[in-house]
Structure 1
Amino acid sequence: MDRLANTVRPYAWGSTTAIPELLGTAPTGEPQAELWMGAHPGAPSRIDRGAGPVSLAEVIDAAPETELGPDTVRAFGPRLPFLLKVLAAGAPLSLQVHPDLAQAKEGFADEERRGVPIDAGHRNYKDANHKPELICALTPFDGLCGFRHPARTADLLEALDVDDLKPYVDILRASPEEDALREVLTAVLSAEHHEIARTVERAALAAEQLATKGGEHADAYAAYAGLAHHFPGDPGVLAAMLLHHVRLQPGEALFLGAGIPHAYLSGLGVELMANSDNVLRCGLTPKHVDVPELLRVVRFEAGDPGVLRPEAVDGEETYETPIDEFRLSRFVLAPGAAPRPLHSRTPQVLLCTAGTVRLHSAAGDTAAELTLAPGESAFVPADERLTLSGEGTLFRATVVA
């Protein structure tokens, strides 16, 4: 097992305090958005096995079957198939969707064929992989996830009493679900800029007023008004009004599959995803928005956002998802509890988020112990046997293979 030295990404939407508080370090005054743990080429973790720090990606490249295990290499190739993060949203992230695997392969191949530079601002596909993801709240966490049923969204928009929204209300009431959602999102994202900015301003003002009156949608109205404050005139504010507003409590999670529009608004969480950078944006961002490609990828299906709560088996609390590239679970270690064995045929990244957790490894004639404090993490190669002890919370990211 190896202690990880990780990179903090300073995206503009990041909190200035949440990650420093987790790590027990002084804030720098700059946003600290994401702490990356894994072998993603954008910011791979580093380990030191006695010869100085080296990229985890290089370690895995040198001996993939040793580090990942034959099952993982057979299923996903010679790379770590997931990326673990601590995400700290101090301001809203862009409203976005991710492609499925077939769409990612097709889109990447097309842009490669057309010679679009990989770092071009208008490029959609950075790789040929999909990007399902799971966010688990460490603090109360606000987000948007998935389309609300058109009739309920029509009620929400109608209550704003904004004339410019009435055509959308009529479509949402009269058309079949998929057609209604597609038509309204297309109209919002394709409208003339000055016209849609005026509608956003009026809708946001009405939402702010309704939020103060309480009622079923008060939190959602407040969230939409907040988006307009951060992104005045952005059509993504109206697109967001089509989506569920979700507030997670610590320990609750959301799974975001392909084609599901979503945005994180505020809070601290553990995020686990397939190892990909593919993002198609709907708005709430100054970055490129490719409306035709976005509309090709979005799944125009209404449904419950599906808040996940962990299922406990033998002390391990697992967040069940329908994919194999990653699996997230956690251990809440009580004081005085007996050491807990931990073994996997696949690679693991272990992250402490509270208290102190000790990892004890006994491989052959050697033994090692590693103590993790909040925000600290470790990489455990495939087939290494550990025991856990201490008093704290440990998240475990691994592979289903």
Structure 2
Amino acid sequence: MDRLVNTVRPYAWGSTTAIPDLLGTAPTGEPQAEMWMGAHPGAPSRLDRGGLDEVIAADPVRELGAPAVDRFGPQLPFLFKILAAGAPLSLQVHPDLDQARAGFAAEERAGIPADAPHRNYKDANHKPELICALTPFDGLCGFRPVPVTAELLAGLGVDSLKPYADLLHAHPEEAALREVLTAVLTADPDRIAATVTEAATAADRLGGPYAPYARLAHHFPGDPGVIAAMLLNHVRLQPGEALYLGAGVPHAYLSGLGVEIMANSDNVLRCGLTPKHIDVPELLRIVRFTANDPGVLRPEASETGEEVYATPVDEFRLSRFVLAPGAAAHDLTTPGPQILLCTAGQATAGAQTLTPGASVFVPAGEPTRVSASASGSATLFRATVAH
């Protein structure tokens, strides 16, 4: 079992205080957006034995286990993060596995450099993900039912939004959502900027369900993504609740602190709320134009005390233990790799003592027992592959 030293990414949307508060360190004054735990080449965790990516590459079967290597290849199949949103992230979607493979191959054939700002596919993998709230956490997830969105747009009383509301009334669900998102993202920049300004003023005045969109417009004045965001469900997670984001589902995280786990990929297609490249034709090919309930997940408790967040993917499995002081240790030994993260209290994992923000990598099959310290309860998240 190896203690992890993890990189904190300073993206502009990051909170300046949430991750330092969790870690018990002084804020630097700069945004601290994501702490990465894993072997992604962008910021691999470090062990006493070297970078986790290098350690795995030297002996993948020993570190990951033969079943995981057979299923996913010689690499850790998930990336685990602490995410701290002090401002909204971009509105985005992720491709499914076939789309990612085809898109990556096409851009490789075209000779587009891997770091080109207009490149869509950084790898050939899909990126299903799960976010679990550590504090109240706001996000946008999936298309809202079309009649409700038409009513919300009409309620703003902005004349230039009326054509979008009319489109929503005039067509079946999939066609209506596709036409409206296409119209918003291909509109004349000056006209859509004026619409966003009018809509933001109205949203600020009305408050209530409109308040999140007023805040978006404050961060991204004139951005067509503000209108696109109005097509989506607004969700507030309470601590311990989670959202699963599958392929093609438009989403954006707005504020809060959470733990996030995803397949080991960096493929993102953006819809707005960003100065970065937006490839509208490719985006429209990837988005799934289906209204759905965002599906807030609550953990399912087992007899062993492990609380599991059920998802339909094999690359990762997230669970949580709320450890009581003095209770018997939990045996977490498993044939696959694990990352254990403490988020509250003080936990013991093997010979390691974990305080909030501390994490360890556990190679496949290594005997693993976890418990709380005698002084109080602790919360421990467990990231591994699906059994």
TM-score (normalizing by structure 1): 0.95
Query: Equivalents in 1 of 2:37, 2:364: separation in Å?
Result: 17
For 1:65-84, list aligned pairs within 5 A. Answer: 65-84=61-80
Q: CA deviation at 1:226?
A: 0.3
> 1:172 & 1:358 partners in 2: Cα distance?
54
Mapped to 1, the partners of 2:177 and 2:312 lie a distance apart of 25
**1:351 aligns to what?**
341
- Selected match of 1:269 from 258, 273, 288: 258
- String of CA shifts for 1:93-144, please: whole Å, max 9, x gaps: 0000000000000000000000000000000000000000000000000000
Residue 180 (structure 1) shift: 0.3
Larger deviation, residues 329-338 vs 55-64: 329-338
RMSD: 0.6
Q: CA deviation at 1:339?
A: 1.4
Identity of aligned pairs, percent?
Answer: 74
Instruction: Measure, in 2, the Cα distance between the counterparts of 1:399 and 1:386.
Output: 16
Residue of structure 1 in register with 2:236 after alignment: 247
Pairing of 1:128-207 with structure 2 (within 5 A): 128-207=124-203
Residue 150 of structure 2: SS of its match in structure 1? helix
Residue 97 of structure 1: aligned partner: 93
The whole-number CA distance in structure 2 between the counterparts of 1:292 and 1:343 is 47
Partner secondary structure for residue 197 of structure 1: helix
TM-superposed deviation, 1:231: 0.3
* Residues 284-363 of structure 1: pairs in structure 2 closer than 5 A: 284-313=273-302, 314-360=304-350
Alpha-carbon displacement from aligned partner over 1:200-238 (angstroms, at most 9, x marks no partner):
011111111111xxxxxx1x3111000000000000000
Letter matched to residue 283 of structure 2? L
- Aligned residue in 1 for 2:355: 373
Tell me by how many angstroms 1:359 deviates: 1.1
1:386 aligns with 2:368: yes
1:332 maps to a residue whose letter is: V
**Corresponding residue of 1:221:** 210
Shift of 1:334: 1.0
CA deviations on 1:185-211 (whole Å, 9 max, x unpaired) are: 000000000000000011111111111
C-alpha displacement of 1:329: 0.1
Partner amino acid for 2:99?
A: Q
State the distance in 2 between where 1:255 and 1:396 align.
Answer: 17
| Equivalence for 1:215 | none
Which secondary structure state, in structure 2, belongs to the residue aligned with residue 194 of structure 1?
A: helix
Distance in 1, Cα, partners of 2:67 & 2:331: 21
The equivalent residue for 1:397 is 383
**Which shows bigger deviation, 386-395 or 292-301?**
386-395
2:9 maps to amino acid: R
Residue 111 of structure 1 aligns to a residue whose secondary structure is helix
What residue number does 1:238 align with? 227
1:125 to 100, 114, 121: 121
Indicate yes or no: 2:44 matched with 1:62: no
Post-superposition offset of 1:336: 1.8
Return the letter of the residue paired with 1:190: T
Amino acid at match of 2:24: G
Give the Å deviation of 1:338. Answer: 1.4
How far apart are the structure 1 equivalents of 2:306 and 2:384? 13
Structure 2 counterpart SS, 1:343: coil
Matched residues in 2 for 1:318 and 1:275: separation? 20
Q: What SS does the aligned partner of 1:154 have?
A: helix
Aligned-partner Cα distance in 2 for 1:388–1:289: 45
Whole-Å Cα distance in 2 between the matches of residues 204 and 27 of structure 1?
32
Residue 365 (structure 1) aligns with: none
Over residues 275-315 of structure 1, what are the superposed CA-to-partner deviations in whole Å (9 max), with x where a residue is unaligned? 00000000000000000000000000001000000000020
Hey, what's the Cα distance between the residues in 1 that align with 2:371 and 2:230?
A: 46
Amino acid at match of 1:379: F
Question: TM-score normalised to the size of structure 2?
Answer: 0.98
Paired residues, what number? 382
Which runs of 4 or more aligned residues in structure 1 lie more than 3 Å from their structure 2 counterparts after TM superposition?
none
Q: Which one is further off, 141-150 or 384-393?
A: 384-393
Deviation per residue, 1:41-95 (Å, 9 max, x gap): 000000014xxxx100000000000000000000000000000000000000000
1-side partners of 2:384 and 2:325: how far apart? 26
CA–CA distance in 2 between the matches of 1:176 and 1:318?
Answer: 37
Unpaired runs of at least 5, structure 2 = none
Gaps of 5+ in 1: 212-217, 361-368
Deviation at 1:386, TM superposition (A): 1.3
**1:282 aligned onto 2:278:** no
